[in-house]
Amino acid sequence: MTALLELNNISNIVNKGTGEERQILKNLSLQVNQGDFITLLGTNGAGKSTLLNVINGALSPDQGSISLKGQDLTKLNEVKRAQYIAQVFQDPKMGTAPRMTVAENLLLAYKRGQKRTLRLRHLKQHCQEFESLTAKLPNGLSEHLNTATGSLSGGQRQTLSFLMATLNRPELLLLDEHTAALDPNTSKQLLALTDEVVQAEKLTCIMITHQLKDALKYGNRTIILNNGQVVLDVAGAARAQLSEQEVLSYFTDL
């Protein structure tokens, strides 16, 4: 397996110098291979979202290094890492511009990583492509290309966020409980779409979930964080044999 992402001895401390100072990640090391679809589990406060934020550059580690395809990302900011890393958040309101239409949001995603200059958008020439792209998706998104994103349902907006994140096939896709705020049926649809796109595009993906069934159903590898450290990292036949009860035994405060 070829290593795509490497984290070495990552530590992260919050509320420094106060009575509430706490170390979230504790000398965490992790190797993510090209094509891995990792489901990430852990209790509240275990460090799951912090880990993703350290990877995407929203947080800087207090110790350790991060590299992607051999390039040191440790001191690169979030904007520069966005050339390689895309993320979908739990809140459907994040990741899209509410006053822009669906088509305009898709055009923004289409141009991600390109040099910005004062020039015509050429939105119309992309509309047929965007209509074809969204026609394959649930929630009738193709009928709302000219609708302001803020007027969409939560499921439609989250589906759009996912489409935007995967439009240019990122080196690494991060999903931070991206279906948690949706109703069960919409969540099921988006998870199925996620699996389909990740497999078809051969994306490398880390997906946080609190659902044990989803953690064992999707992807090829499951990781459990507890108290800022990896306590289980399993793939292949060993993962296939894991029961939900065995997974629960790794949680101390569920």
What separation in angstroms does the CA of 101 have from each of 58, 94, 123, 229? 27, 15, 11, 41
Q: What is the pTM of this model?
A: 0.91
Asked whether residue 228 carries a pLDDT value surpassing 70, the answer given is yes
| Dihedral (Cα; 8, 249, 177, 7), 10-degree rounding | 0
Pull the structure tokens for residue 21: 């100072």
Q: What is the mean pLDDT of the chain?
A: 89
The answer to whether 238 and 220 are in contact (CB under 8 A) is no
Q: What is the DSSP letter of 116?
A: P
Strand spans (E) along the chain: 3-14, 22-33, 37-42, 63-68, 71-72, 85-88, 172-176, 205-208, 221-226, 229-235
May I ask the CATH class of domain 3-84+170-248? alpha beta
Q: What is the pLDDT of residues 95-139, one digit of tens each?
A: 888 999 998 898 888 766 555 443 435 666 667 788 888 887 777
Q: What is the pLDDT of residues 127-175, one digit of tens each?
A: 778 888 888 777 788 888 899 999 999 889 999 999 999 988 999 999 9
Average of per-residue pLDDT across 180-202: 92
Q: Where in the chain are the domains? A: 3-84+170-248
Residue 1: pLDDT band by 50, 70, 90 thresholds? low
Q: How far apart are CA 179 and CA 189, in angstroms?
A: 9
The answer to whether 223 and 233 are in contact (CB under 8 A) is yes
Query: Which residue(s) pair with 22 in the sheet?
Result: 14
Q: Which residues contact 4 (CB under 8 A, 6 or more apart)?
A: 32, 33, 34, 36, 68, 69, 171, 172, 204
The answer to whether 65 and 8 are in contact (CB under 8 A) is yes
